[in-house]
Amino acid sequence: MSGERKKLYRVCAAGVLFAAGFVFGRHWALFLAAYALAGYDVIWNALRGLFRAQLFDESLLMAVASIGALALGDFEEGTAVMLFYQVGELFQDYAVDRSRKSITALMELRPDSARLILADGTTREMHPEEIQPGDLIALRPGERAPLDGVVESGESALDTAALTGESMPRDVRSGSEVLSGCVNLTGALTVRVTRPYAQSAVSRILEMVEEASAQKAKSEKFITRFARWYTPTVVGAAVLLAVLPPLFGFGAWLVWLKRALLFLVVSCPCALVISVPLSFFGGIGGASKRGILVKGGNSLEALAKLDTVVFDKTGTLTRGVFAVERVLPAEGVAGHDLLALAARAEQQSNHPIAVSLRAAAGALPEGGVEKIAEQPGGGVSAVIDGARVLAGNRRLMAQNGIVCPEETGGTAVYVARDGVYLGCAVIADQPKPEAAAAIAALKALGVRRTVMLTGDAEGAAQRVSRELGLDGWHAGLLPQDKVARLRDEMAAGQGTVAFVGDGVNDAPVLAMADVGVAMGGLGSDAAIEAADAVLMTDKLDRLPVAVRIARKTVRIARQNIVFALLVKAVVLVLGALGYANMWEAVFADVGVAFLAICNALRAMRIRE
């Protein structure tokens, strides 16, 4: 059983004993049993802090205040103080401990074995760490590359989405680079290893996640920062209140001792230790109802200070699904005829480009297509209605002596028939319909800068950036490049820098950013675990909602702090002068806590 679960059961059992104390006529023994069960670890931490010269922390404050209440004979008060404190701690620890515990999806990128090609042509399965640069390994269709290398022989298409986040497979042939973590889709490859396992792409990503998490230190809990000055102040004041007046003849020692103990009861930070975490968890609950998962109060507080938002492209700003964006026929060629011809040539392919062409063309005539052949690294050729048709990139056209213009802003599929250029269809990943409005809403909330990082080509990045109104973009990036660019943005930022992404390759930057935001619906497990917040609906319009929720939550938490401290200050002064009794002390503690909690519940009601 985990420590958190044990603590939860212990606090629940203490709560039962506390309630039983009231049922059996405010029986002091039951209250003391509840107090001991709920607070023995707090008392122990306070004593340990004394021996380690860490005198003034929240454990000492809670111990002194609650024991002071017990000493006055208010057993239920002292026990309630400890119970409230422990419940608040449970709330706060739960969300913090859930953050970044698992990068299971990243582990799945790392194959457990590689097939080394021996001198006689046979293969032997070995652990990737045993393979050395210069060795040859075999990579079959459907397998994940265990090491970085260069294709020695064979042709295939590689799914690089796990590394670059881009859904478009990359064609490789002799001399092409292969990165560990990529999936071989079609043909068998022989790969010459270029880097040892420790320096491979997958190992570097795993290492970056660990380093980035270490660089992003956990923010101090509010009560700890607060107790640094509040605890020594009230404890010192109580001691002086108990000693100085009778020492100078202003009354009996017992009178001032009771006032000092009353002073400590009033000073108990119950209203803060429960209402401040509850404010944040009210905000977290309100966010979850709107499809936003925030992992703890620290993350919510950071979102409230958002200055710069850095986005991944594919799957985050765009749909991650390719579609025909433009059809550019040559003179005298009808656009629908050009599209139908390209789709017929690609009718047997499952490549995303082919799928998008067929979807755009609609119903196609049956028959009339034969001799379909894949042109490695270029496209396809086919005989359609007796004419030889080529559909592919500019290199395929050049290989066949066909001159065609260069198109940018997407992937162009050029079409030729019997050596005559007919035009091209531009395939592009489409921006999400809500992306532009979400970015505009962020700017309306005061976000100073929005930037896109992508492994895609410059033309596609420029087009998406222009359409969505981004302030900047960087293209052609691998995971380590994204980390470097994010570091630059964080250095230049004037406040919190958030990164929004969805892929396994985004895990390092999500972990490094002040606030990592993962797209949860389609996002990888690694991205979700590395992030501080998750947009569960995969819609970017949730991000400005999250910022508004965070700002309202922080505002409510600050209201509770000011209100609690103000009331306590007044009652502390009255108690020290003898004008306040236990009723005022109870109000300053329990009453203020109740009002602060009611205010905290407002954080759950967020208008979009």
Tokens 């894949």 belong to which residue? 374
Q: How far is CA 174 from the centre of its chain?
A: 39
Task: For residue 389, give the nearest of 375, 376, 377 by alpha carbon.
Answer: 375
Compute φ and ψ for 420, nearest 5 degrees: -110, 125
Mapped to the 3 state alphabet, what secondary structure does 152-163 carry?
EECCEEEECHHH
User: What's the residue count for the chain?
Assistant: 608
Edge to edge, the sheet with strand 449-453 lists 292-294, 533-535, 515-519, 496-501, 306-312, 449-453, 472-474
Distance of CA 520 to the CA centre of its chain: 9
Give the integer Cα–Cα distance in Å for 269 and 597. Answer: 13
Q: Which of 74, 148, 312, 538 is catalytic?
A: 312
Q: Which amino acid is at 479?
A: P
Question: What six digits make up the tokens of 483?
Answer: 């980390």
Separation of CA 210 from chain center: 14
Query: How crowded is residue 449: how many other Cβ atoms within 10 Å of its Cβ?
Result: 18
Q: Collapsing DSSP states into helix, strand and coil, what is residue 336? A: helix
Q: Which two tokens stand for residue 434?
A: 């809500």
Residue of 550, 563, 560 lying closest to 606 (CA atoms) = 550
Please give the Cα distance from 235 to 461 (Å, whole number): 60
DSSP for residue 144: B
Q: What's the rounded Cα separation, in Å, for the pair 209 and 195?
A: 20
d(CA 59, CA 50): 10
- The HSE-up count of residue 379 (CA atoms within 13 Å, CB side) is 29
N-to-C CA span, the chain: 40
Structure tokens at 509: 């930057």
Burial of residue 454 (number of CB atoms within 10 Å: 0-12, 13-18, 19+): buried
The answer to whether 175 touches 153, Cβ cutoff 8 Å, is no
Backbone angles phi, psi at 12, to 5 degrees: -65, -45
Number of helices and strands (H, E) in the chain?
A: 22, 22
Active site residue 502: no
Region label for 282, one of left (φ > 0), alpha (ψ between -120 and 50) or beta (otherwise):
alpha
Those residues whose C-beta lies under 8 Å from the C-beta of residue 66, and which sit 6 or more positions away, are 35, 39, 78, 79, 81, 82, 268
Helix 335-345 and helix 352-361: axis angle, to 10°?
140
Two tokens, residue 566 = 């103000």
DSSP state of 606: -
Q: In what order do the strands lie in the sheet with 379-384?
A: 318-329, 420-431, 411-417, 387-392, 379-384, 369-375
Written as six digits, the tokens of 257 are 């001792």
> 603 with 286: CB under 8 angstroms?
yes
Which residues are annotated as catalytic? 312
